[in-house]
Each structure stands twice: as structure tokens, then as C-alpha cells.
Structure 1
């Protein structure tokens, strides 16, 4: 009976099974075709087009591009620390790109490298770099790792076109100098806590050895927590801790995201990043909700970044007559996440290298201290005095030149465009290797690898042969909106530290700069401080 029933069923269902099998097979073939196109046909087509336009560089290797070779070379370079006071760091930081540019990028010619299946055209000519960053024709967009960005921040730096214009317009009031002046008390309060802790740890020999890298990261996290969230500082501190962990986990993914679907794999690191992101967003929504309620009750909003941002957003919506024209709650959450990622990280990197370089070059530490004491004595610095600092400013610029926090800037062509007489097809990544531009002897002179703040004595425009060769904060319409915040915070921190402390390299310090996203000391930044 069972066999007869099957015979009666089989003829009717067989066509359905055949159709289902065909559809499933077609779907597999279609997906395989998409992968093959992405990982082989498209890269080969782009490589052929670029070489036809006269560009040279490395050849495409299936799937990984230059990632495997770059990883191998970087591992070898990072195994060997640099001599103390050696600032020729590019061969250690990006050894593969350093050698590729030496072989194929002579006379500042753009050259090709590969990030997985994506061709990267590296442009080291400052004039061409300015053309790319100005993006006059609107044919370039930022390079975005979308899956990672979702878990770090999809704030201002993530957006393009009209959405970017709207976000920039609404956020801009928070970073105007008049607003930043109001945040100086928060800057100084956080710095004084750090200095008091260091002085309190000085031993009987009159010195205290400290790894200032985590200390300065904590300092800038405290600063951004206070200046962004005001009375919600403690909750903001928790966000900073979570963002720091999220950043570290994201770095583990950066060398693997060329693998299709990698961020969707249910591995432990990916699951943990999603959990952290949910907690961050939950805390931020609570802080934002409390701030919005306080604003409704008439509380002043002029003393922290979030309050200024919400006030600017409300004004924007009133001027445009509809709530849809403003930032949504999700938009504001993402901008708050960016406050931490961009604000705290950039300034902590700048301050860390400033402390290390002033330890390596004590004559400049003495000159900076003399200027600071001449202006402020032992009093708390004010904005007018900070703006008159010449030697300290020169030092910070030279630190940013030799050790830029972000060593490259990326753009991507989404349609065909011409740069410097070369027409690039859509789908090409355009990289501006800031570190290599900052270390170019043709631009900065034969002393390019020496720490010489005096090169900035007449300002940025006269420090090199090309006024567009100094790019620590980018250039053009998308120049970093927080650069004044970072420099003002760094000046305040250096002033307060140099007023009360002198410092030198600790014997345990190893000079080993390295980078994943920002440039920092691989084995810490150990210094010895003494009270004065």
C-alpha cells in the first residue's frame, strides 16, 4: 500500500522537485558568478585599464591582493625596533608600500597596490592629493568598511553628498572657537587630575616611571566625556570604555574584511562587537533623552557638545519647517560615538608622541617650558595665552608631521574621473599616504627625518616647498571638524604638564611605532617624570 501510494504521489510532485532543483542550482550559479566577477573578472579588468593609462605597481593576486605579502613584511619589520631618536618610520610602518613606491612611484608617480580585490592608487604628489581631497567634481567618495563602520560610528565622516552637508552644518556650531573656549575648564580639570596622580606617585628617588600611552588615552577619554556630556560624565565614561574595547576588536577584523561576508560570520569576536554596540547605543539614548528633557525644562545647553548639537538641530528643524529635515535619534547617537572615536583617539596619539619626542629632545622641552612659564608662570592657561604660544605650536606641528595619527586618507571613484591627466575608472580606491608625504625629502628637505620644530617658525605655508604637504587633519571641505578641539586640548595638557613636571625616556622604553588605524607606540610609552 505504501509503495502504491508513493507511485501515485511521485508523478505529481516530480516536476515541482525538478523546478525547485533548477532554481536552487541557478541561484548557486548566480552567486558563484557574482563572486567570480568580484574576485577575478572585475579586478583583472580594472588592472588592465589602469596599466593602459601608464600606471605601474604590484599585480593582482586572487582574493587577497597584496594583503598576505603586506602582512608578512609588516610582521618582519615590527619584530625589529628602531634606534632611539630615529624618526624615519615609514619603512617600519608600511614596508610593502615603502618598497613599492620606491620601485614604481618615482618622481611622485601614482602607483598601484591591492587591498584584496580592490585596486589602490597611491598618490604622493601634494598637488594631486589636494585635487583628490577637494573633490571638485564630486566623483569621489570616502572609502568605507560598512560592516565595521556600523559597529564603530556612522557619523559625519561616514556620510556623502547632501546628507554630509546637513550633518556638517548642524554639528559645526559645537566646534566653533567661541564654544571651545567654554570647554577649557574641563580640559584643565582632567589634566590636573592626571598630573596630581603622577606627582603623588613619585618615589623617594624623586622620580616616577609611567607608561603615558594608556594614561593619556584615559585623559582624552575623560575630556571627551566631560565636554560631550556634561553632567552625564560618568555614563559617558562607560561609553568611552566600551568604545575603546570596540575599537580594539574592530582592528582584529580590518585585515580580514576583504573576505565576503566575514563580519556576518557567527564567530566570538563578531558576536561580542554586536553586544558592545547595543550597550553603547542604549547608554547614549539614555543620555540624549535626559538632555532633551532638561532642555524642555529650560536647562542651559551651552556647556557641552551634546547640548550644542541638540540646540543646533532644533534650530535647523525650525528654520526648515519640518522635523524630517533634522538629525534623527539614530543620527545623534552615531555622532556621539564619533566624538569618542575621533576626538579621544586623535588627541591621545598626538600627546603621546609629543611627550616621547620632548623626552628624546630635551632642549625643546626646555624651550617650551620657558615659553609657557613666561606667559602663564604657574597660573592656569587661558585661551588668549594659548593662542599666543609659538614654540609649543611649532612642536605640535612637527610631531603631527613626523607621527601623524592617521597615516593615510582614502577615497573611492564611483564614476570615471580624471586626476592629474589620468582617467580612472569607477571602483578604484585612491589613497593619500599622509605619512609618506610628510616624510618626502623633495618636499621637506634633506633633514626630513629630523625633529626640527623650527621649520614651522613662519607657519605651515612656509614650512615646506609645497604648502599643501601638511595633511594631519586632511584638507579641503572634509577637513577634520575637530582639529581646533584637538590642538587646544593638546596645548592645555602640555602647558599644565610642563609647568609642574620634567620628563625623560625610561630605560624600559622601546622605540617601535606601529599602526592599525592610528599610529601609536607598540610596546608603550614609558617615561620618568620629576616634579619641578
Structure 2
């Protein structure tokens, strides 16, 4: 009796919520079909590559450069158009991050990418002098040289694999690390061993032994995070802050 009453009240509340102005405005945007109460959360219970491909490629192709997704009763709007992103990213007032960014803290720490508004403004003021046009222009030679080396590595990888598929992650990581070291860390170039160690530490699956959706369907305990949205993200699949933030290579880069 009590269960039926609660179910009826929940159904009435959900019906009224669906007809609210807020929901109707969000649903005016195109997006994947939703399930009552669950939204699109089941579509994200997939392996890591699929989890990245859906919002970054599939949904953009299906619904256009702006679309909405429901994580249970929490909406998110995906924007893939530079024209729509420009006023947001160039704004000095729209700097608050959503709670969804909290799942990146174990990987990124309390950096500018996940900082709260006051902390972001304070640190951004300190960093602004380093991003003057004259300073950035001085980095162009490094960008050019390292990009040529990166292109050469791509050619060698393609040739060695007879034109088949190649893993671009190590090549792009090498290029990025060389550029960072030369432009911001005094020109130090890391050895191949250093790069290989850092790439290994960056790889979330190797670090965290993260379960796939198959493991979850077999009963993998949901003990990493109480937030199901965070749980579905690859950064929360068993990854601990101690593992992600204690890489000896990170320390070496800072002190070099």
C-alpha cells in the first residue's frame, strides 16, 4: 500500500517536472532519446573508447553542433560549434565549473581546468603575463621544429605498419612533452626512457586497472564514487588520487 502510494506520488512529481519550463527549454534542443528518471545514463555505460566517441562524434553527427543530454534529472548541453563556444570561453564572468568537473580532480589536481571562480581569477591574473603575444611568438620555432619531428615519427610508424592502424597516443605525447619542456621548462629535452615512463603513468587503464562495462555488468562494486555520473566516467573507474598524483616523473619534470 505504502509502496503504491509512493510510486504514484513519484509519477505525479515526474509528470509535473517534465512539464516545467526548465525541462521544456532544455528539451527544445535536439538530443538522444531519454528514459524516465534515467535519462541517457545507460547509453554511457560502455567501454572507454565508446564513452569518448559518443559525445564527441556520434551525438554531434546525429544531432548537430549543439545538443542536450540528461544524466538522470541533470541536463548537460554539448557544444561543438566554434561560433557558439567563443562567447562562452572568452567570457570573464562565465568561469564557474559544474560539479561534473570534480571527477577530473584525481587526474588534474586543483588546476585551472577545475578551479572554482575565485581561485581561477586569482591564478589567472598571475599567469596572464606569461601569455603575452611577444612571449607566445617566441615559441613558434619550437612548435615548428617539434611538429616536423612528430610528422617524421608518423611517417615511420605508418611505414612500419604497412599503412595499417597506428597508436597515435605515444607519438603525440612525445611531441607535446618536448614542446612543453622547450618552451616552459628551460629547454630541457627528456630521454626516451623518461617519456616512456611518463606515458605509462598517464595511461589510466594501466594505472588503475579500470573495469570495463563488462566488468560492471558482472557485479563490479560501485565503491569509487557515490555519484553515478562520475562513476560512469573513465577517471572514476577505480582511479585513486594517490596513484594519479604521485608519479615520480611529475616530480622530476617540476624540479628539472
Task: Pick the TM interval, shorter chain.
Answer: 0.5 to 0.7
1:283 and 2:234 are equivalent in the alignment:
no
Cα deviation code 1:152-210 (max 9, x no counterpart): 243222224332222222212323232234334433553455566678x69xxxx9345
Contact 2:68 2:78 in 1 (8 A): yes
Q: How does 1:207-218 map to 2 (within 5 A)?
A: 208-209=159-160, 211=166, 213=168, 214-218=170-174
Q: Hey, what's the Cα distance between the residues in 1 that align with 2:44 and 2:229?
A: 20
Contact 2:142 2:179 in 1 (8 A): yes
Decide which of 40, 57, 78 is 1:66's aligned counterpart. 40
Rg: which structure is higher? 1
Q: Hey, what's the Cα distance between the residues in 2 that align with 1:46 and 1:233?
A: 57
Structure in which a larger fraction of residues adopt strand = 1
Contact 1:65 1:117 in 2 (8 A): yes
Q: Hey, what's the Cα distance between the residues in 2 that align with 1:282 and 1:276?
A: 10
Structure 1 residues 176, 124: closer, same or farther in 2, change over 3 A? closer
Q: Hey, what's the Cα distance between the residues in 1 that align with 2:49 and 2:151?
A: 36
Cα deviation code 1:10-58 (max 9, x no counterpart): xxxxxxxxxxxxxxxxxxxxxxxxxxxxxx89x9576443245584464
The root-mean-square deviation of aligned C-alpha atoms, in Å, is 5.3
**Alignment correspondent of 1:168:** 124
1:142 and 2:97 are equivalent in the alignment:
yes
**Alignment correspondent of 1:513:** none
Query: What number of residue pairs does the alignment pair up?
Result: 217
Contact 1:225 1:240 in 2 (8 A): no
Cα deviation code 1:400-459 (max 9, x no counterpart): xxxxxxxxxxxxxxxxxxxxxxxxxxxxxxxxxxxxxxxxxxxxxxxxxxxxxxxxxxxx
Cα deviation code 1:277-302 (max 9, x no counterpart): 11258616851xx6xxxxxxxxxxxx
Q: Hey, what's the Cα distance between the residues in 1 that align with 2:137 and 2:87?
A: 33
What's the TM-score once normalised by structure 1's chain length?
A: 0.31
Structure 1 residues 151, 253: closer, same or farther in 2, change over 3 A? farther
Q: Hey, what's the Cα distance between the residues in 1 that align with 2:136 and 2:200?
A: 26
Structure 1 residues 186, 163: closer, same or farther in 2, change over 3 A? same
Give the structure, 1 or 2, with the largest relative contact order (CA under 8 Å, sep 6 or more). 1
**Alignment correspondent of 1:259:** 228
What's the TM-score once normalised by structure 2's chain length?
A: 0.55
Contact 1:190 1:222 in 2 (8 A): yes
Decide which of 40, 57, 63 is 1:93's aligned counterpart. 57
Provide structure 1 residue ranges, at least 5 long, that are not aligned to the other structure: 1-39, 79-88, 103-107, 291-532
Q: Hey, what's the Cα distance between the residues in 2 that align with 1:247 and 1:231?
A: 31
Q: How does 1:193-272 map to 2 (within 5 A)?
A: 193-194=149-150, 208-209=159-160, 211=166, 213=168, 214-230=170-186, 232-234=188-190, 237=195, 240-241=198-199, 244-246=202-204, 258-259=227-228, 262=231, 269-271=238-240
Q: Hey, what's the Cα distance between the residues in 2 that align with 1:153 and 1:70?
A: 24
Q: Hey, what's the Cα distance between the residues in 2 that align with 1:126 and 1:183?
A: 25
Q: Hey, what's the Cα distance between the residues in 1 that align with 2:91 and 2:39?
A: 27
